[in-house]
Amino acid sequence: MKRFLSTHHSATAFNLSMLILRLALGILLLTYGYKKLTHFDSMRHTFISFAGLGSTISLALIIFAEFFCSIFVILGLFTRLAVIPIVIGMSVVVFVANNADILGKGEKGFLYLTVAFVILLCGPGKASLDAVINK
């Protein structure tokens, strides 16, 4: 019981936790990005236009973040760089599209934003391609 309540952690627990966070974020966002990618033609006229970019460009940017960057996060390849578009995209989802309603409609986006920000701060862990490359 004493070990269970301890605030100390092992490197193995940290690396496993980062792997789980990366996989969860990547796989869940990948499904959203895939839906947007396959329905691009029907969504491009009705998607939110952010910062005057137009709905087509805004949709393309969120597809890049949710689909392509998610693949990099899952693999743990260029993880910190790949998670930056996700953080930006989820910030737009939470604070622009859902008016910062983090306890209502923007709750899911806020959770994704939080997990992406943790990955940005902590890195991918040793169970990643980044760790293999940097050996």
Stated pTM of the model:
0.89
Distance, in Å, from the CA atom of 100 to the CA atom of 105, rounded to the nearest integer, reads 9
C-alpha to C-alpha distance for 69 and 66, rounded to whole angstroms? 6
pLDDT of 51-106, one tens digit each?
Answer: 888 888 989 999 999 999 999 999 999 999 999 999 999 999 999 888 888 888 88
Cα separation, 109 vs 58, whole angstroms = 16
pLDDT value for 52: 83
Q: How far apart are CA 8 and CA 116, in angstroms?
A: 23
> Per-residue confidence at 1, pLDDT binned at 50, 70, 90?
low
pLDDT exceeds cutoff 70 at 30: yes
Sign of CA dihedral 39, 40, 44, 45: negative
Mean pLDDT value across the chain: 91
How confident is the model at residue 11, as a pLDDT?
Answer: 87
**What is the CA 103 to chain-centroid distance, rounded?**
19
